[in-house]
Structure 1
Amino acid sequence: MKFMVMVKADKNSEAGVMPSEQLLADMGKFNESLVKAGVLLAAEGLHPSSKGARVKFSGSKRTVVDGPFAETKELVAGFWMLQVKSKEEAIEWIKRCPNPMEGESEIEIRQVFEAEDCGAGFTPELREAEEHMRRQVQAQAGARS
Structure 2
Amino acid sequence: MPRYLSLVRIDEAAAPAEGPSEELMRRMGELIEQMTKAGVLLDTAGLTPTAQGTRVRWEDGKTSVTDGPFTETKEVVGGYALMQCKDMAEAVEWTKRFLKVHEDHWTVTCEVREIAEG
Which bin holds the TM-score, normalised by the shorter protein? 0.7 to 0.9
Contact 1:7 1:100 in 2 (8 A): no
Residue 29 of structure 1 corresponds to: 30
Contact 2:10 2:107 in 1 (8 A): no
CA distance in 1, matches of 2:74, 2:87: 29
CA distance in 1, matches of 2:106, 2:113: 23
Aligned with 1:102 (options 96, 105, 108): 105
Q: How does 1:63-78 map to 2 (within 5 A)?
A: 63-70=64-71, 71-73=73-75, 75-78=76-79
3-state DSSP class of the match of 2:105?
Answer: coil
Q: Computing the radius of gyration over CA atoms, which structure comes out larger, 1 or 2?
A: 1
Q: TM-score, normalised by structure 2?
A: 0.86
Contact 1:4 1:111 in 2 (8 A): yes
3-state DSSP class of the match of 1:22?
Answer: helix
Q: How does 1:80-95 map to 2 (within 5 A)?
A: 80-95=81-96
Residue 49 of structure 1 corresponds to: 50
Gaps of 5+ in 1: 116-145
Residue 114 of structure 1 corresponds to: 117
Residue 118 of structure 1 corresponds to: none
Amino acid at match of 2:26: A
Cα distance per residue 1:67-111 (max 9 Å; x no partner) = 1112232x1111100001111000111122212783332111111
Contact 1:46 1:77 in 2 (8 A): yes
Residue 140 of structure 1 corresponds to: none
Amino acid at match of 2:35: L
Higher share in helix = 1
CA distance in 1, matches of 2:10, 2:86: 27
CA distance in 1, matches of 2:103, 2:113: 18
